[in-house]
Structure 1
Amino acid sequence: MLPSGRGTYTNPVYASQFPDPFVLQHQGVYYAFGTTGNSRTKDGRIFTLLSSKDLVHWQPLGGALAPPKGAEGAEFWAPEVVHHNGTFYMYYSRGGGAIGASVGHRLYVATSTKPEGPYQEVGLLDVPESKFTIDAHPFQDTDGKWYLFYARDFIDSDNGYYPGTGLAVDRLVNMTKLAGESRTVMRAKHAWTVFETNRTMPLYGNKTFAQWHTLEGPFMRKHNGKYYCFYSGANFLTPRYGVDYCVADSILGPYSDAGAENGARVLHAVAGHVRGPGHHSHVMGPDGKTEYLVYHAWDKNMKERQLCIDKLAWTPQGPRCQGPTYTPQPMPS
């Protein structure tokens, strides 16, 4: 969408379908990657790709990932891309269709020599203990070590946690191989993160769960020496869906979400204006100083999840998005 006035923008900044947005900044250009599910872009590829110089005016570049052999009909979700030693690595999940299907999701990695691709799938990042593993997020710590955060299912209710999708982390031995030392980051324990009650799951032998909860879309941000794992919680179709976080002194935890008992604190719905804001990424604005959340939110008819941006502020109470906004805002400087 064009700015609504001189020096302003109004969400959505891309008024078309663009779920699970991730933005990579490389050599002065922003590249946005979005979920395509089981659809293909006009050039026959997977994952919608856009470019921008200012986070507001976006140009379509086609698709990013070449369809892997043997994956016809599969769902492809939530791409994220990093640049390391001259290679661009894309992490994503693919699997057998809608959530709850009899075939789950697994994590994969693809590579390219250019940020816009095309990316070629090069391997599986398997998590053997999970049948449903999504939303891979690569993170390089300040000591140079790489980690992969992701969302996975937990079907037990040990220690008072709810069954459902939670967050985990593992060390990357290299950019295409996990160490196999998975650690739980956070599981659901608050009422607001419920996805569905009395949910029957074909993936787990048609077992019915009285409450199935969801934490998804992890994004790691190190700030003032602490590790903040942001995530989206609840059912993405409901007004409860939004972004919260947990925090730790070490990248492997333990993490605390104290203060998250009553709902999403970072980004949440605005009744009558914004529904389902979440599955975000963080990126610095053109000034290299101002931090933005890039997220999706539903259009008024709930037909499309569209691309939105808003500033993130680090307050004494913790990180808070200055949104979601739906009125004109100052252009990123």
Structure 2
Amino acid sequence: MKKLLYVTYFLLYTSAILAQTAGNPVFKGWYADPEGIIFGKKYWIYPTYSAPYNKQVFFDAFSSTDLVTWTKHERILDTTAIKWAKRAVWAPSIIEKDGKYFLFFGANDIQNDNEYGGIGIAVADNPAGPFKDYLNKPLIDKFHNGAQPIDQFVFKDKDEYYLIYGGWRHCNIAHLKKDFTGFIPFEDGKIFKEITPENYVEGPFMFKKDGKYYFMWSEGGWTGPNYSVAYAIADSPFGPFKRIGKILQQDPKIGTGAGHHSVIHDPKSKDWYIVYHRRPLDQTDGNARVTCIDQMFFDKNGLIKPVVITNEGVKKNTIK
């Protein structure tokens, strides 16, 4: 069975190359929780290195000019540069500001407020690093509103920056200071506003389209086949967010555990892409996850159509 699957993957990968499509997965290795973003004329993906927590202590990044050919940038950050991070760094989120690249990450998988770790920030002059610790301590090191400080996403809305994060079925949004050294309280004095929608588990992501805020998240357990992505739409980044439905999930003929995603969109293009991880059919290990890209479409009402996951992946597309 394994031999047949390997042959099938090889043939699909070969046909994808000949057809000038990326093929899924888009690069080799066990990688999960991918954040896709555009910097200049390149697409970038920043994933988790998917391994047991004590080995998951560094980040690689990948860049491409066309979505098909990817260049690996090894160890752009590891725990030797983050003295307080001892194990399990994951789910990076990156943003460029004033010529600097700020990489937000979770570390140490803390289970309560007595353990040290949480969400940190690293900074570099180049999207390929090397990154160094920005604060020399976690930005968030405690549970707020029940949210484990993991799965961070940095969202820019006009000239304001927000951190959206949270595991353990709770999601918070906080208003970042301009220098990313802390947070600006909301009008009611609170720092962390809970925006948890129905069925939320982890992996938040937000984008804006046609004046609406699309909030997306992962549901189910990350080690299982039913990991998936759902979404909601609101008029504000603070919600309220009413769940609309799932748009990404397993296809038993293609792969399982499709979730923890991000979205790439070139504003000068009509194309939207969903970047996500899934588990190959011949794998059951929780850490056996690969990074994939497929197209994402909207209907005439602006609702996201269910994503069709593929082995072929997406066609070559340079940034406009």
TM score, norm. by length of structure 1:
0.77
Aligned to 1:19: 32
* Deviation readout 1:119-175 (Å, 9 max, x if unpaired): 111122226444721111111112x1111100144xxxxxxxxxxx22211111222
Corresponding letter in the other structure for 2:140: D
Misfit runs of 4+, over 6 Å: 99-102
Report the Cα offset of residue 294 of structure 1: 0.8
Structure 1 SS opposite 2:31: coil
The answer as to whether partners of 1:4 and 1:328 remain within 8 angstroms in 2 is: no
| Residue 149 (str. 1) matches residue 168 (str. 2) | no
Structure 1 stretch displaced more, 298-307 or 144-153:
298-307
Q: Any residues of structure 2 matched to 1:127-146 within 5 Å, and which?
A: 128-130=142-144, 132-142=148-158, 144-146=159-161
Q: Which residue of 2 aligns with 1:196?
A: none
Give, in angstroms, the shift of residue 253 of structure 1. 1.9
Corresponding residue to 1:176 among 161, 181, 186: 181
TM-superposed CA distance for 1:327, in Å, is: 4.1
RCO greater where, 1 or 2, for CA within 8 Å and sep 6 or more?
2
For residues 136 and 38 of structure 1, the distance between their equivalents in structure 2, rounded to whole angstroms, comes to 20
Q: Tell me, in whole angstroms, the C-alpha distance in 2 between the residues paired with 1:93 and 1:111.
A: 15
Could you give the per-residue CA deviations for residues 93-139 of structure 1, whole angstroms, max 9, x where no partner exists? 10157x79984751111111111111111122226444721111111
Contact 1:18–1:296 (CA<8 Å) still a contact in 2?
yes
Distance in structure 2 (CA, Å) of the matches to 1:104 and 1:246: 33
Measured in 1, the distance between the counterparts of 2:126 and 2:92 equals 15
Residues 100/183 of structure 1: CA separation in 2 closer, same or farther (3 Å cut): closer
Distance in 1, Cα, partners of 2:30 & 2:65? 20
Q: Is the 8 A contact 1:151 1:217 kept in 2?
A: yes
Is 2:171 the partner of 1:185? Answer: no
- 1:116–1:218 CA distance, 2 compared to 1 (3 A): same
Cα distance per residue 1:246-304 (max 9 Å; x no partner)? 222111122211x33xxxx2111112322011111111269733110111111223252
| Paired residues, number | 287
Which range moves more in the overlay, 219-228 or 309-318?
309-318
C-alpha root-mean-square deviation of aligned residues, in Å?
2.7
Judged with a 3 Å threshold, the aligned counterparts in structure 2 of structure 1 residues 328 and 106 are, in CA distance, closer, same or farther, namely: closer
Q: Which residue does 2:225 correspond to in 1? A: 239
Partner-residue secondary structure (3-state), 2:126 = coil
Paired amino acid for 1:240: N
Give unpaired runs (5+ residues) of structure 2.
1-12, 186-190
Partner of 1:108: 120
Q: Any unmatched runs of 5+ in structure 1?
A: 154-164, 191-213
Q: Distance in 1 between matches of 2:113 and 2:141?
A: 18
The one-letter code of the counterpart of 1:112 is A
Which is strand-richer, 1 or 2? 1
| % same residue | 25
